[in-house]
Structure 1
Amino acid sequence: MSLNKPYTDVPGTTIFDADQSRKGYHLNQFCMSLMKAENRDRFRADERAYLDEWPMTEDQKQAVLARDLNRCLSLGGNIYFLAKLGATDGRSFQFMAASMTGMSQEEYAAMMLAGGRGIEGNRHTGEKQ
């Protein structure tokens, strides 16, 4: 039984809590397996076959194959574990973060250097805008 979660109404935000951790356990373990070179090689050789070795949901597998990081997060992925997937693809964390916002790396970097995303539209849905 989940506790009351007042933080669930922040637009565009997925909080990695105990429920998300349970939901994404095998997805995150798959990502951690990519720390070993032999596993990265096996994954690159046949992504689907390697994913099928893990008891992940089909939605999780499809999100990984599509490199849909936002979907991975919604399915229990933790960004620090998902970074292993990005590294396997030769992608920087900045590239991954930019892809999650729909921005180019350059646009994302400029936004962050300018102080990050503005608060407008990013408050709790119940707060006055």
Structure 2
Amino acid sequence: MIDYSEIDDIPGTTIFTADRARKGYHLNEFCMSLMKAENRERFKANERAYLDEWPMTEEQKQAVLDRDYSRLLELGGNIYFLAKLFASDGLSYVQAVSTMTGMSVEEYQKMMLAGGRNIEGWRSKSKGI
């Protein structure tokens, strides 16, 4: 197993590592299933029952139900696969991602158009810089 502690120390960023890819395989497969209209309909009709068809962890299933996108990334979700979940909820990528920043859509768009987040205070969780 590779030591990812250095990249996991980056504030506000979850790197999609090989370990996360393995951990999130079934979560990402679930997300990809939502590309088919009949699967989206089944999911929307009974989210929990549909999730229980997938060999995901309980923590992953609960994060889907909670639409906790940041937690889903930590649990192995890939942002491009999670976009299928966003779209199933009628959210744009910007709308969904703004929820992970604690900003409104307008605030998030303004920040990104201004060049993104200021790096001050966002270099190391452990060092507080």
User: TM range, normalised to the smaller chain?
Assistant: over 0.9
Q: Counterparts of 1:128 and 1:86 in 2: how far apart (Å)?
A: 32
Instruction: Give the drift of 1:4.
Output: 5.4
Map of 1:88 onto structure 2: 88
- Higher deviation after alignment, 58-67 or 5-14: 5-14
Tell me the TM-score normalised to structure 1 length. 0.93
Map of 1:15 onto structure 2: 15
Map of 1:39 onto structure 2: 39
Give the 3-state SS of the residue equivalent to 1:116 in structure 2.
coil
Structure 1: which 5+ runs fail to align? Answer: none
Aligned AA (1:33)? S
Q: Counterparts of 2:20 and 2:128 in 1: how far apart (Å)?
A: 28
2:121–2:128 Cα contact (<8 Å) kept: no
**Per-residue displacement from partner, 1:68-101 (whole Å, max 9, x unpaired)?**
0001011111111000000000000000110000
Q: How does 1:1-129 map to 2 (within 5 A)?
A: 1-3=1-3, 6-125=6-125, 129=129
Q: Counterparts of 1:106 and 1:97 in 2: how far apart (Å)?
A: 12
2:31–2:84 Cα contact (<8 Å) kept: yes
- Higher deviation after alignment, 6-15 or 29-38: 6-15
- Higher deviation after alignment, 5-14 or 87-96: 5-14
Q: Counterparts of 1:77 and 1:128 in 2: how far apart (Å)?
A: 26
CA RMSD of aligned residues (A): 1.6
Give the 3-state SS of the residue equivalent to 1:101 in structure 2.
coil
For this pair of structures, how many residues does the alignment match?
129
Cα pair distance change 1:62/1:125, threshold 3 Å: closer
Structure 2: which 5+ runs fail to align? Answer: none
Could you tell me the percent identity over the aligned residues? 67
